[in-house]
A and B are shown apart, each in its own frame.
Chain A
């Protein structure tokens, strides 16, 4: 009984661990975090391994590739309607995505599709998260491991280890991306 009362008195929190460093995995994290923040939850994001890439000042490295990514629909954002309906990830052999320029093309198409859908660029979305009070922590161990410098990260990011993250986050829920 005591336990239930204690849980109810806990502030509403949302926490998310970002381990992926591609553009298609950056969007869901920042979309969920900003939504939770808007709904007055205390939001903690912890960035580790490749996830660090999503909070670098330079977003040139944030790409998306259909290679080894069978869940990703690849549709042309331009052209006639019939062409826009074709899922090239289903109809072309995977080998195609190894060709030079394929990742560049897929990233361009993805960005264009997101903007056409009414999404904002990732730089703006993560900026909004910070503005809304989302706490971002970069895993110091992986920052060192990946050879990043602290000044390569956007303003507002803290640097700490996993223990600091778990000390500040909900007792029984975490979302790993």
Chain B
């Protein structure tokens, strides 16, 4: 399942909090397309994903930054 997470206009730490909630509320195999405008997110989202054991991919950097995030499956 692919879902969109819009965190545009929100500043640190709200995008990460929303991402965490989104992960908690959705099934194991969810893929999240996370949109954000907080420039710090370019480093923070990968840092969060690495720490949480999530996989991620930077989909686009402009006009809005977007990461695709999903859980590692064994």
- Assess A118 versus B10: contact at CB under 8 Å? Given A34-B17, A38-B16, A38-B20: yes
User: Which residues of chain B come closer than 8 Å to A39, judged between CB atoms?
Assistant: 16, 48, 51-52
Which range holds the interface residue count of chain B? 10 to 19
The chain A residue with its CB closest to the CB of B19 is A38
Q: Does A31 contact B (CB under 8 A)?
A: yes
User: Which residues of chain B come closer than 8 Å to A120, judged between CB atoms?
Assistant: 10, 14
Q: Are A40 and B12 in contact (CB under 8 A)?
A: no
User: Which residues of chain A come closer than 8 Å to B9, judged between CB atoms?
Assistant: 118
User: Which residues of chain B come closer than 8 Å to A117, judged between CB atoms?
Assistant: 11
| Chain B residues engaging chain A, CB cutoff 8 angstroms | 9-14, 16-17, 20, 37-38, 48, 51-52
- Residue of A40, A118, A119, A128 near B17 (CB, 8 A) is A128
Bound form: Cα–Cα A40–B9 in Å: 25
The chain A residue with its CB closest to the CB of B7 is A118
Binary contact track A103-129/B, C-beta < 8 Å → 1, others 0: 000000000000001111000000010
Bound form: Cα–Cα A60–B70 in Å: 42
- Chain A min CB distance to B13 (Å): 4
Q: Are A119 and B16 in contact (CB under 8 A)?
A: no
Bound form: Cα–Cα A117–B51 in Å: 26
Q: Which of B11, B13, B37 has the most chain A CB within a 10 Å cutoff?
A: B13
The chain B residue with its CB closest to the CB of A128 is B17
Q: Does A98 contact B (CB under 8 A)?
A: no
- Chain B min CB distance to A130 (Å): 13
